[in-house]
């Protein structure tokens, strides 16, 4: 099971959603799923094309969180059992423009 390590920017993004209890609950659920099984189909995990190492996971229909796998296998595939660096929580379009 990977350990989730939030960046300062991720924490700032999370603080912006503190008053939105419904969205905050969805974020917590997505983080729990990510920690339990990063490849869980409901997360819709996918690579962010304009960033060589960033990936995206779904929070809901509008919001995504970006992350960076903590390690890679020699073949280049992410090691999802290593620590995961949490980068941002943003609107889908904004996150894909600037995942870090």
Strand order in the sheet with 55-58: 4-6, 84-91, 63-69, 55-58, 46-47
CATH 3.30.2310.20 fits 4-97, yes or no: yes
Tens digit of pLDDT per residue, the chain (100 long)? Answer: 899 999 999 999 999 999 999 999 999 999 999 999 999 999 999 999 989 899 999 999 999 999 999 899 999 899 999 999 999 999 999 999 999 9
Residue 52: its pLDDT value, please? 84
Sequence ranges of the domains in the chain: 4-97
The DSSP code sequence of 9-30 is HHHHHHHHTTT-HHHHHHHHHH
Residue 1: its pLDDT value, please? 80
Give the separation between CA 37 and CA 86, rounded to whole angstroms: 15
Residue 79 phi, psi (nearest 5): -95, 100
Is residue 87 a contact partner of residue 10, using CB atoms and an 8 Å limit?
Answer: yes
């Amino acid at each position: 099971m990977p350990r989730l390590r939030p960046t300062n920017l991720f924490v700032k993004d999370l603080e912006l959603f503190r008053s939105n209890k419904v969205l905050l609950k969805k974020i917590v659920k997505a983080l729990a799923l990510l920690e339990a099984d990063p490849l869980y189909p409901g997360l819709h995990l996918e690579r962010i094309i304009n960033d060589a190492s960033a990936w995206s996971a779904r929070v809901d229909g509008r919001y995504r969180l970006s992350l960076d796998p903590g390690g890679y296998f020699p073949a280049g595939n992410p090691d999802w059992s290593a620590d995961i660096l949490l980068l941002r929580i943003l609107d889908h379009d904004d996150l894909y423009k600037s995942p870090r």
